[in-house]
Structure 1
Amino acid sequence: MFSRFFQTAGRASASGASRALEVQTRNAATLKTLSIRMRAIKNMQKITKAMKMVATAKFKKDMRTMENGLPFALPVLNLFQRLPVEDKAGAITYVAVTSDKGLCGGVNTAVAKQVRLGISAEEAKGNISKIVVVGGKGVAALKRLYGDRFSMSFEECSKVPFTFATASLIAERLSASGPARCKVVSNEFKSMVSYDTVVKHTFTVDEAHTMDKGEWTKAMDVYSFEPSIYEVWQDLHEFYYGCVIYGSFIQSVTTETAQRMNAMENASKNAGEMYGKVELQYNRARQAKITTELCEIISGASAV
């Protein structure tokens, strides 16, 4: 009888010890995993805070570039905006102005979406569509579905400061392709927290030639040209292409930097909230481990 009792008690104590060992091992593994995760979240938060500081410093420079560059391009843009817009059938070229880097919210996604919607609408009417992309993110977003529509692409434009000379090179390539119709899709800076994705109708040489001469003269006669408008029109039109691309790009860069600041701030805030939740789990697991060890110590002392 006593031997059966001791055997039962021995089995119970062995099973209890094994359960305690399992709990202890499980808590130790949980504590180590949570500690590693907390360290990773903290490192991530440091990185996002540093990226926000870099974007803040870069934003001041981009904002200054936009404020100095837009007055240079706006007079030519306002001149051509006086021309009447006619919705004609025919091939169309979409110029998507995006960035080369990510982590800036949905600025590049919004541009790619507008290009996709525009191509779908034009091809539903039976018009041929072509795409010119400025920026690596636009290439990545559009190449999978619309790679056969690509006419040309310009990547890594942000590696060096973007100037009007760079915009002129892109405009020269665009002008040489001879688009029948052209629309530039880019982001227009409004404030630190808001922007608009706009689809700007860009007048081509073909549209100017087929435009009603009365309307064309009415829009241009308010300005004086020397030499005459007919002699400088071709050069003026190429300069107009350059102004459109330059103005769109510097506004897109400023928007990108502002949205990167907001995205990194939100990422740092989310990392802080995540760290708090993981820290709470860590403290609970640590408390459970300490409680288990105390119970084992008390049980051992009682047994003695």
Structure 2
Amino acid sequence: MFTRGARPALAVARTASKQQQAGMATLKEIDQRLKSVRNIEKITKSMKVVASTKLTRAERSMREAKKYGAANNELFDHAKVDEDAANDKKILYLAMSSDGGLCGGIHSTISRATKKAVAEQDGALAIVGDKPKSQLARVFADKIKVSFSGVGKDVPTFAEASAIADELIKNAGEWDEVRIISNAYISALSYEARETIVVAADALRQSSGFQQYEMEDDVSKDLAEFSLANAIYAKLVEGHAAEISARRTAMENASNNAQDMMSSLQLQYNRGRQAVITTELIDIITGASAL
């Protein structure tokens, strides 16, 4: 039996013991969260290093691929389509991105630009990449003619662009021009969605620049198909560089956020440790006073 004077001290000790157990449980949870955040930071840092390495190669490939786009610009500048027939033309929108994630808003930028373009002038839709397809299918499921996946895992090749162009010609229905909506690489920190127009063979033949020359129909047809493949290739490679750059930025921001979170959790952990130590000292002093 405890004396009447020792009972209050015993009650205080029991309360302190419960608080100590609760504090220890909280410390374990904080410690587990700290370990999880450290592991996440290691992953994001590794992914940032990988993206930085890939970005150098992607930028080099983009500079080479832009020559294809420059050739297309030269062609269409000298063979402008007459504006009188612009109202009745059939448009095929080609939204180009990729299947990969963890790259910020690279896919939603394409989706927003495509929705805006279709709202301004109606047309059919072709999509490169599973990510933009899942976003656009919610709104334009009936407009999607063809879609492509597995493109952009590495630096895109002209063979992939040619395969996409062939599929558009065969299975995307009739169209007078293709409007390619893709991400333009501005710098290592920024990008934006831009539209590139490629006209069909009939539109080329009807242009004033082409009518000055005598040529067979097959020539304009082959030229239009090659120009479409050129444009797709140039925009695929540029979009790939923009995606790698966005992924590098996203992983850097994720690493910085993980470091901030670790600092906050470490501060909570230290305060919890101090509270536990203070509680233990109170128990010792209370027990000594009771004795």
TM-score w.r.t. the length of structure 2 is 0.90
Give the SS at the match of 2:192.
strand
Matched, 1:96 2:95: yes
Structure 1: give runs of 5+ residues left out of the alignment: none
Match of 1:232 among 195, 215, 219: 219
Match of 2:143 among 149, 159, 165: 149
Amino acid at match of 1:149: K
Match of 2:45 among 45, 49, 52: 49
- After TM superposition, give the deviation of residue 102 of structure 1 in Å: 1.1
Give the SS at the match of 1:188.
strand
**Inter-CA distance 85–268: structure 2 relative to 1 (3 Å threshold):** farther
C-alpha distance in structure 2 between counterparts of 1:135 and 1:105, whole Å: 15
Paired position in structure 2 for 1:113: 112
Cα-Cα RMSD:
2.4
- After TM superposition, give the deviation of residue 181 of structure 1 in Å: 3.4
User: Cα deviations across residues 107-161 of structure 1 (Å, max 9, x unaligned)?
Assistant: 1111010111122223xxxx4x321111121112212222221111110113455
User: Cα deviations across residues 235-294 of structure 1 (Å, max 9, x unaligned)?
Assistant: 000001101110110000000011111111111111101110111011001100001101
Match of 2:278 among 282, 291, 295: 291
- After TM superposition, give the deviation of residue 206 of structure 1 in Å: 4.2
Paired position in structure 1 for 2:238: 251
Paired position in structure 2 for 1:69: 65
User: 1:77, 1:240 within 8 Å by CA — same for their partners in 2?
Assistant: no
**Inter-CA distance 182–61: structure 2 relative to 1 (3 Å threshold):** same
Paired position in structure 2 for 1:216: 209
- After TM superposition, give the deviation of residue 7 of structure 1 in Å: 5.1
Paired position in structure 1 for 2:16: 20
C-alpha distance in structure 1 between counterparts of 2:286 and 2:252, whole Å: 51
**Inter-CA distance 249–85: structure 2 relative to 1 (3 Å threshold):** farther
Tell me how many residue pairs correspond in the alignment: 286
Fraction of identical pairs, as percent? 33
User: 2:111, 2:135 within 8 Å by CA — same for their partners in 1?
Assistant: yes
Give the SS at the match of 1:157.
coil
Give the SS at the match of 1:131.
strand
- After TM superposition, give the deviation of residue 174 of structure 1 in Å: 1.2
Segment drifting more, 12-21 vs 259-268: 12-21
Paired position in structure 1 for 2:263: 276
Paired position in structure 2 for 1:197: 193
Give the SS at the match of 2:99.
coil
